[in-house]
Amino acid sequence: MPERKGESTVVMSSRPTILGYAAVVGKKEGEGPLGRGFDYVFEDTTMGEKSWEKAESALQKEAFTRALNKAGYSPSQVDYIFAGDLLNQCIASTFGLREFQRPLLGQFGACSTIAQGLAMAAVFVDSGAADVCSVVTSSHFCTAERQYRFPLEYGSQRPPTAQWTATASGSALVGLGGSGVHIAAMCAGRVVDLGVTDANNMGAAMAPAAADTIYRFLQDTDTDPEDYDAVITGDLAAVGSVLLNELLTEKGVALGKRHLDCGLMLFDREKQDVHAGGSGCGCAASVLCSHILGKLERKEWRNVLFIATGALMSPTSAQQGESIPAVAHLVQLVSE
């Protein structure tokens, strides 16, 4: 049974289990520091499909299927799929998962969607509304670039604060029982908008949302950063990570070296020319569903806060002069 704690944290009394997880990525992501930890690395960004959008759907299908296989489950055993992506009308999820004909509850939190999906799955399983839920998210550099920015053929220059959308998908299967990694709690993010308008500086837009959620969770649970082995943000990357630490320091919270960021972990910024780091719904999802859950499963970490961040804008809102609202959803992961 989910139990509320403090203002806005929900503790899962049955601690739903990550029954299986998988991450599949593109070539560039496979060449990064975490490359050996992924379940599959596609050498061709089309994944054999006729369009990049169809390729992104293929990524979701692959991650979903592999997570199920690793857990020894079939698609028909999944009660609900919580899925999302960055494409208009979330078509990577819809088309990638339609053949499985499972109840689909589409989630949209931009790059925070993997944490939002995990939080939903945890509440559904912990409450008895579901036995088994799947969570899947994805992004693809080529679909995001042409939808949000410019045609790839244009070869636009990118400022140093820009981030590189990951070609990746991560999926986790959530159920009850067994040892392994568990979802202990969740804290949903509020929309925070400090007025950043530079669509090439998502890290700056998202950092205040991450700081807000982390601070509220620590207050709700009466814990300190020292109580966790790692505090891992989604994709604040280089610029946003510095800002997050500044914002939290102002509130008397020092994350120190236990702060990690998926956008900084996925790529080698020295060698891979990704400017400020990685981003996209697939960035935090693929790092979670390989490196992070792996370290928890091997008990190298015991207690981790995972806070995926999302910039809730669109090209239309940017063109209309709007600033960039952001959100950050937190899940607490423990290994037992």
CB 336 within 8 A of CB 179: yes
- What is the dihedral angle through the alpha carbons of 106, 289, 115, 269, rounded to the nearest 10 degrees? -110
| Beta carbon of residue 34, minimum distance to its own copies (angstroms, whole number) | 27
Query: Does 105 help bind its own copies (rule: CB under 8 A)?
Result: yes
CB 231 within 8 A of CB 261: no
Which span (160-168, 279-287, 289-297, 307-315) binds its own copies, by CB under 8 A? 307-315
User: Cβ atoms within 10 A of the Cβ of 191, count?
Assistant: 11
- Binding its own copies (rule: CB under 8 A), the pick from 15, 66, 102, 182 is 102
Site string for its own copies, 196-235 (x = CB under 8 A): ----------------------------------------
Query: Does 309 help bind its own copies (rule: CB under 8 A)?
Result: no
- Binding its own copies (rule: CB under 8 A), the pick from 72, 103, 177, 178 is 103
User: Cβ atoms within 10 A of the Cβ of 108, count?
Assistant: 16
Span 35-94, contacts to its own copies by CB under 8 A: 50-51, 53-54, 79-80, 84, 86-91, 94
Q: Is the dihedral of CA 286, 288, 293, 296 positive or negative?
A: positive
Query: Does 152 help bind its own copies (rule: CB under 8 A)?
Result: no
| Beta carbon of residue 137, minimum distance to its own copies (angstroms, whole number) | 12
Total site size for its own copies, rule CB under 8 A = 62
- Binding its own copies (rule: CB under 8 A), the pick from 65, 95, 194, 303 is 95
CA–CA separation, 215 and 223 (whole Å): 10
CB 112 within 8 A of CB 327: yes
Of the CA atoms within 13 Å of residue 256, those in its CB half-sphere come to 9
Name which of 298, 282, 242 is nearest 29 in CA terms. 282
Both tokens of 218, joined, read: 């620590």
CA–CA separation, 117 and 184 (whole Å): 15
- Binding its own copies (rule: CB under 8 A), the pick from 70, 190, 258, 302 is 190
Secondary structure of residue 170 in the 3-state scheme: strand
CB of 2 or CB of 180, closer to its own copies: 2
CA 117 centroid distance within chain: 9
Which span (191-199, 263-271, 279-287, 301-309) binds its own copies, by CB under 8 A? 191-199
List residues near its own copies by CB under 8 A: 1-4, 8, 10, 50-51, 53-54, 79-80, 84, 86-91, 94-95, 97-98, 100-110, 116, 119-120, 123-124, 126-131, 147, 188-193, 312-317, 320, 322, 325, 327
